[in-house]
Structure 1
Amino acid sequence: MNKHIQRALPVLLVSTSFAALTPAHAQEQTSVGLDEIVVTARKRAENLQDVSSSISAMSATELARRFDVDVRDFANSSPNVVIDDTQQGPGGVAAVTIRGIGVADVEKSVDPAVGVVIDDIYVGTSTGGLIKAIDLDRVEVLRGPQGTLFGRNAIGGVINLARSRPTQELTGKVRGTYANHDSLDLEGLVSFGLSDAIAVKFTAAHRKSDGYMYNATFGKDGQTSEFTALGVQVLITPTDNLEFSFSFDDQNTKQDPGQLLNLAKSTDLFCAVYEQCAQGVGVPQSGSRYVSLGNGRLGRNGFFDMNLGIAKAKWDISDDFELQYIYGRLETDEDAYQDWDGTALTLFHTDRPARYHQDTHELRLTKANGPLTFVVGGYLWDSAYTINLVSYIGFAVPDTILAIPQDVRQTTKSYAGFFEADYRFTDALKLTVGGRYTKDKKTSGVLDGTFSTWDDPRRESWSKFTPKASLSYDVNDDLMVYGLFSRGYRGGGFNGRPSTLSAATVPYDPETVDNFKLGFKSEMLDRRLRLNVSAFLMKYDDKQEDVDVPTPGIGTGRENRTLNAASAEMKGIEADLTAQITENFTLSANLGYLDAKYKDFLADTNNDGVVDDNSALKLRRAPKWTWAVSANYEAEIGPGTGWIQADLHYLGAHEITFLNNPAFHNKAQYLMDASLNYRIDKTQISVFGRNLFKEDGWTIGYDAQGLWSYGAARPSRTYGVSVTQSF
């Protein structure tokens, strides 16, 4: 038996043994059953068990038991999901992969493949996609293409986050957490009514940390950060059937840029000429995955500022019909001087000031009752970003550091109309059909030392229809079986780091995924056991692959190209289980099996003019097996209530780099989290630990072909104490 499982079993068994000691009267009350889980995966509130789709969800009660920091911590709640921070930019760059579909790139020209949605607003870039876990009321992980209701760039799925609403009653909480690495987190919220028709909520958070990386070149901590967030939400209900809400959040991060590690092999230029070499396969130049040799600027010189404003209006036209309008404005401003080579030399550094904004408008009409129910609407997207990149190249000319500027400005406009309808032929048989038509328009202007399209930006447009159909049958009140077909697509675009005119002006096309699925959802034993299982087959066409290729003698000598050169197939099985063993003891688990392969991948991936067959490569972040087990036991102890929470997440072996560099091959990882908690009245004290087995798997690996490779490892073991005061 694996040593990590041997270590984990005692923690999980402690929870089970508590259940065995539960008094007899508690055993007799288990008929209460599991709570109903309400989700909004289809833009309307529904029971999770009534939705013919693969969804994992956590309620406010479950979230309160956890010590999540950001979106990464939700990966263990769902099978076939991998979420990493690539550390390629300030504020956190999300690499979210579901069923082997995802991207990991800092450039805002690269659209996400998995949508991160907060309060109905889609975050359109990977930078800023690691939403902080502040005041979350519900988390939903939607697996598979969500092209009908969430549109483009949800080809792999959606992480759907919802925050709590303001309350008329005076309520609130304050939490303080101190953990190793001198990490201090303070967060709180307060909500109250200003009048019978107006309620308001304020939130605040402050986090600082010395980080888990040590910089040996400067002899001090090398990944310090400080995060501050302020938010306000106002809920206005002038009548029983009319509602307005407004929210604004301001988040500011100051930090050291990510401390990347050099893993140049003997044939790479940085090793062969500059003697900056990895110590072995998978062993960085520093000898430790938590020790950096980079000479980039420290002192929290990098920053990431984000503002998010949301306005909503909802009108209950009648008992059956609801009309809703949602507007969102997201702005980011950032800069970071990044040491990419991970050595004490200045070989490849960048300064990357960038600004981004997006405006979204959504109008939808929902019919909730009767044999025919539906949601129909329109959507408008408008975004733009500018980056004023300067690359500092120290390997091209001896004893000289070249400063190579490049400015890129891109815009996106997207228009969509969508619908999804259910029709019940009988109480048991339901047909669902839906579709979305999307029109995208993009422009790209580049100002480079060798060419310019800045004053004459290139333009391209694409359109796509993404259908959906499912048929479900309620065998009885506790069992539903269903079949589903859905299509998703990720938009086309222009390369964001070109060194040649052709890369800057020739667009790449959208990619599509067709998803076929069979499944069932069930509740048993008087609703004390919930088991949902599905099997899927996904066919991937025109798959976009972002490839770094050499361009000798031009610009930085590198450029990023996006190729439509691959087709792939993903098939697998997913299962979610929740069991109320006793009134006090709950056990949940999930299991994912994934077989993801390229079917056809012919492309020139190293710019040597030769088209090669790359079909034998493995897809990134696509482990064959993932599973998680979570145990929670709660009991009355003295004047208060105590509980233990233990979570074991298995992440199977997988590749991180496009070229499957063996230096970044991740072996299987066992991620263990646990907490001990005690609550008296409205005061809660918790002791917790994350990654207790100190797994050091890679979260990012990147090959700059012929020069060097860099990477970064997942956060090391974290442990601390937290105090929460509610009122």
Structure 2
Amino acid sequence: MLAGMIRNRFVLSLSVASSAVAWTVPTYGQSAASPVAERNEGGLEDIVVTARKRVERMQDVPASISALSAGDLAKRFDSDVRDFADSSPNVVIDDTQQGPGGVAAVYIRGIGVADVEKSVDPAVGVVFDDVYIGQSSGSLLKAIDIDRVEVLRGPQGTLFGRNATGGVINIARSRPTYDLTGKARVTYGKFDTWKAEAVASTGLTDNLAVKVSGAYEKSDGYFYNRFYNQPGQRSEFYAVSGALLFEPTTDLHIQVSYDHQKTKQDPPQLLAVNRPTDLFCAAYQQCSPSPGVPTSGDRYVSVSNGRLDKNATFKLDMAIAKATYDLGSDFQIDYILGWLKTNEAINQDFDAGPQTLYHTDRPARWRQTTNELRLTKGGNGPLTFVLGAYLWDSRYTINLKNYIGFAGAPLLTSAQDVTQTNKSWAFYGEADYKLVDGLTLTVGARYTHDKKTSLVNDKPIFIYGTLVEANPVAVIQPSLAGGQIVMTTPVKASWSKFTPRISLRYELNNDAMVYALWSRGYRGGGFNGRPSTIGAATIPYNPETLDNYEVGFKTEFAGGRVRLNGSAFLMKYKDMQQDLDVPAPGTSTGRENRTINASSADFKGVEFDLTAQVTRNLKVNGNLGYLDAKYKKFFGDIFSTGTPVDATFLKIRRAPKWTWSFGATYETEIGDNASAWITGDVHYIGPHEITFLNNPNLRNGGQYLVDASANVRFNKTTVSVFGQNLANEKGWTIGYDVQGVWSYAAPRPRRTYGVAVTQTF
């Protein structure tokens, strides 16, 4: 009923995000290293960003950027990175449900990656406090203590560098404050969800400040498991964080932070969506009752026999150190050290049925270290610039074990150990030069060198006479025969790339400017992370590049009460990396997943961002994105027949033609030291494919995501009633085809609602 009302009448529903893990503290005292948003007299906040690694107004940046300031975030209740998708056009963010702790599928302008393997570099960079997160697992960062969110659309190959062909989501937290400030919130919501979080900051001395925060969350989840007759997606999460700000002089600022997070959960519940011709339907009677309907008959009911004892864990430890020194004469030098380690374990049922047909055990470890040094020249002179050097070092190991019931009699296990390393370095620079009054030329470039290694070894295959993993009836030792992989030394490959950027910006007046730019993005090559044959394990795939041609405008009018920005773009993809499921005869599963450079593609579209302070009490915001994404050249064995075909008829995944959002906030005083506000948002995601082969059973129609909240604040206490996905849209967030065997999928979270109490001091 509600969804129909929205589709027919476009009624604005009240909006707030669904969980209270995301909220912001009041803006702390800031230095040049930490920008603030100031409010124009009677108008909108003047948003200041660091999208180009320098402090500047968003309206002065000649590029497509959407931003949420501290004031915006204070009115939202975002859970994690997914909830930021409605802030920008042509953005789709999903959780693929293929691992613990959240596995991000972040797509900007139809470009992204939805693979759980850490061998696959992201195509959209998630940058957290100036540190790039190099894996999809853990990129759905919990939105705790977020001070600013910037969505940079289009390739960011100059300043952010590696693996940012689609764009960057730049997230920054608040700095410690010398005054005693803080906030605490307790939330209870549907599915017996409890959340508690707090952050506090104070000065220890005149030049030393500290900030601490913590969060805890537990939930029964929105899935029911019919096989075990109990909730199927229980989870617990906790996080602690501490930060120190040391300012020994007025010119030197040093900040260090440490974060520890842990998630314990039931493995994400996948759903089988099997066609009559699939093996799992024909041989094991695991059939969908009708096209697009899972074998369970309900998108939120699982029939999985996978373990449900919160055996899936995700641990994250992260340390960040930043030093900023003001050299004088508008020169500043910054050094950023980032260290991230994750450790995860999960035993997951991928066949999603009551029989053990294909399960995996996937313990994995990741470690990354980054060093960045940059020199910035600011000021009002004709020349400003950023020069930098960047060093990346990462390593991951996965000890994969497959439990296969459809290829053995009746069970076999195969195991594989994979270790990959990546060392990368880069030099970059970008400069603005004012040619004449109002006309500015920007020139930038980055040179990147990547070196990767991969070591893969298959373990013995054990065949069991029953479904119990005990007393094998046969053992097959690994060898080069039969497709099994044995490597004594790692294979190596390296690539280098030069990625330039050039733009012109013309200021029509103080409140309007137009720009044109050309930029190039680059994503490194690599080695397959789950090969079944020695060729797939040792032959690397090559980098991909993306050229972006863009024109745009940025305006403010009506006395600073209305902000309207727009752009039009054409992006041309070369050597686009594609994942193909192909036959692998003689191996334990008979198939393998390979990444190949198979295609070129064109992406073109337009985007608009609007914010308006309609009255003193009413603020509205909206965005609109149009995208036309098509393969131009794609020749590959997409149907696993051994014969390559012209595949340009396929539609590109997660590239809806239309996306838009419209929201409003109405706030009023209701007495002394008391106020109330309601806020609402409708976010539309157009029909789109989520599987490589465009499986019609896993195709998403248009979705209207509606959020709402009502809030009352007395002094420093706020009571909020909120809801998310009030239209109860059930679109798929992941879909995967194992051709001729089975298909699996997962839906977006169900409608939820709750109440939150927030206390500030």
TM-score normalized with structure 2 length: 0.92
Kept in 1, the 8 Å contact 2:64–2:154? The answer is: yes
Alignment pair present for 1:457 and 2:486: no
Q: Secondary structure at the match of 1:486?
A: strand
* Aligned mate of 1:397, from 402, 405, 408: 408
Aligned mate of 1:677, from 704, 711, 714: 711
Equivalent in 380, 385, 391 of residue 374 of structure 1: 385
Q: Determine the C-alpha separation between the residues in 2 that align with 1:625 and 1:435.
A: 32
The two structures, once aligned, show a CA RMSD in angstroms of 1.3
CA distance in 1, matches of 2:562, 2:4: 29
SS of corresponding position for 1:61: helix
SS state of the match for residue 303, structure 1?
strand
| CA spacing shift, 1:277–1:217, aligned 2, 3 Å | same
CA distance in 2, matches of 1:104, 1:35: 35
- Are 2:141 and 1:107 equivalent residues in the alignment? no
Q: Tell me the residue number matched to 2:584.
A: 551
Q: CA deviation at 1:604?
A: 1.3
Aligned with residue 451 of structure 2, among 436, 441, 452: 441
- Which runs of structure 2 are paired with 1:694-705 in the superposition (5 Å)? 694-705=728-739
Q: What are the Cα deviations for residues 670-693 of structure 1, in whole angstroms up to 9, with x where unaligned? A: 000010001111111100000000
SS at match of 2:222: coil
SS for the counterpart of 1:609 is coil
Describe the SS at the equivalent of 2:328.
coil
How does 1:295-314 map onto structure 2 within 5 Å? 295-314=305-324
1:457 is displaced (CA, Å) by 0.5
1:205 partner letter: A
Q: 1:31 touches 1:528 (CA, 8 Å); kept in 2?
A: no
The structural deviation recorded for 1:31 is: 5.7
- Secondary structure in 2 aligned to 1:663? helix
Asked if 2 retains the 8 angstrom alpha-carbon contact of 1:145 and 1:486, the reply is yes
Q: CA deviation at 1:319?
A: 3.9
Structure 1 residue aligned with 2:688: 654
Counterpart CA distance in 2 for 1:480 and 1:149 is 23
The offset of 1:559, in angstroms, is: 1.1
Please, which of 50, 75, 94 is the counterpart of residue 85 of structure 2? 75
SS for the counterpart of 2:436 is coil
The answer as to 2:743 corresponding to 1:709 is yes
- Mapped to 2, the partners of 1:414 and 1:607 lie a distance apart of 34
CA contact 1:34–1:529 (8 Å) conserved in 2? yes
Distance of 2:452 and 2:387 partners within structure 1: 26
Alpha-carbon offset, residue 555 of structure 1: 2.6
Q: Secondary structure at the match of 2:139?
A: coil
Contact 1:184–1:208 (8 Å) recurs in 2: yes
1:80-126 residue CA offsets vs partner (Å, 9 max, x unmatched): 00000000000100000011101101100011000001000000000
CA–CA distance in structure 1, aligned partners of residues 311 and 500 of structure 2: 47
Q: Counterparts in 2 of 1:86-485, with a 5 A limit?
A: 86-369=96-379, 370-398=381-409, 400-448=410-458, 449-450=478-479, 451-452=484-485, 454-485=487-518
Q: Which residue of 1 aligns with 2:597?
A: 564
Give, in whole Å, the separation in 1 of the partners of 2:185 and 2:583.
50
**Shift in Å, 1:173:** 0.5
The Cα shift of 1:553 comes to 2.8
User: Structure 1 residue 35 and structure 2 residue 37: aligned?
Assistant: no
Report if aligned partners of 2:233, 2:267 keep a CA contact under 8 Å in 1.
yes
Displacement after TM superposition at 1:3 (Å): 3.1
Say if 1:2 and 1:430 are closer, same or farther in 2 by CA, change over 3 A: farther
Q: CA deviation at 1:5?
A: 3.6
Structure 1 unaligned segments of length 5 or more: list them: 14-28
- State whether residues 308 and 329 of structure 1, in contact with CA within 8 Å, keep that contact through their aligned partners in structure 2: yes
**Which of 705, 727, 737 lines up with 1:693 in the alignment?**
727
Contact 2:12/2:682 (8 A) holds in 1 = no
Q: Aligned equivalents of 2:216 and 2:198: distance in 1?
A: 9
Conserved in 2, the CA contact under 8 Å of 1:365 and 1:377? yes
Counterpart CA distance in 1 for 2:53 and 2:578 is 31
Letter in 2 for 1:662: P
Contact conserved, 1:30 with 1:580, CA < 8 A, in 2?
A: no
Deviation at 1:605, TM superposition (A): 2.2
Task: Indicate yes or no: 2:754 matched with 1:720.
Answer: yes
Q: Which runs of 5+ in 2 are unaligned?
A: 16-38, 459-477
Alpha-carbon separation, structure 2, partners of 1:30 and 1:336: 50
Asked whether the equivalents of residues 669 and 695 of structure 1 are also in contact (C-alpha less than 8 Å), the reply is: yes
Deviation at 1:426, TM superposition (A): 2.2
Q: Which 10-residue stretch deviates more, 3-12 or 81-90?
A: 3-12
Distance 1:376 1:295 in 2: 55
In structure 1, the residue matched to 2:654 is 621
Q: Deviations over 1:619-677 (max 9, x none)?
A: 00000000000100100013410000000001000000000000111000000001000
Q: Is the 8 A contact 1:445 1:452 kept in 2?
A: no
Q: Find the aligned partners of 2:354 and 2:642 in 1 and give their Cα distance.
A: 35
> Are the counterparts in 2 of residues 550 and 705 from structure 1 also a CA contact under 8 Å?
no
Alpha-carbon distance in structure 1 between the residues aligned to 2:316 and 2:411: 33
* CA distance in structure 2 between the partners assigned to 1:333 and 1:416 by the alignment: 28
**What amino acid is the match of 1:580?**
Q
Conserved? CA contact 1:145–1:515, under 8 Å: yes
What's the secondary structure of 1:280's corresponding residue? coil
* Inter-partner Cα distance in structure 1 for 2:338 and 2:660: 36
Q: Secondary structure at the match of 2:118?
A: coil
2:629 matched to which residue of 1?
Answer: 596
The secondary structure found in structure 2 opposite 1:128 is coil
- In 1, the alpha carbon distance for the partners of 2:660 and 2:618 equals 20
Q: Equivalents in 1 of 2:99, 2:516: separation in Å?
A: 41
| Distance in structure 2 (CA, Å) of the matches to 1:299 and 1:396 | 27
Residues in 1 aligned to 2:315 and 2:41: alpha-carbon distance in whole angstroms: 49
What is the letter of the counterpart of residue 669 of structure 2?
E
Runs of 4+ deviating beyond 3 Å: 5-8, 10-13, 449-454
Separation in structure 1 between the aligned mates of residue 201 and residue 8 of structure 2, nearest angstrom: 45
> 1:306-334 CA distances to partner (integer Å, 9 max, x unpaired)?
00100111100004100000000000000
In the aligned structure 1, how far is the partner of 2:60 from the partner of 2:538?
Answer: 47
Q: CA deviation at 1:609?
A: 1.9
Matching residue within 552, 555, 567 for 1:522: 555
Percent of aligned pairs with the same amino acid: 62
Letter in 2 for 1:632: T
Separation in structure 1 between the aligned mates of residue 666 and residue 751 of structure 2, nearest angstrom: 24
| Conserved 8 A contact 2:274-2:743 | yes
Contact persistence 2:452–2:494 (CA under 8 A): yes
Structure 2 distance, partners of 1:115, 1:193, is: 34
Q: Which residue pairs with 1:16 in the alignment?
A: none
In 1, Cα distance between the equivalents of 2:158 and 2:12? 45
Amino acid at match of 2:395: A
Deviations 1:550-596 (A, max 9, x none): 32331322211001010000000000000000111100000000000
AA partner of residue 397 (structure 1): G
Work out whether 1:502 is the aligned partner of 2:535.
Answer: yes
Letter in 2 for 1:166: P
Matched, 1:486 2:519: yes
Equivalent position amino acid for 1:665 in 2: R
Work out whether residues 217 and 292 of structure 1, in 8 Å CA contact, stay in contact via their aligned partners in 2. yes
Amino acid at match of 1:156: G
Amino acid at match of 1:545: Q
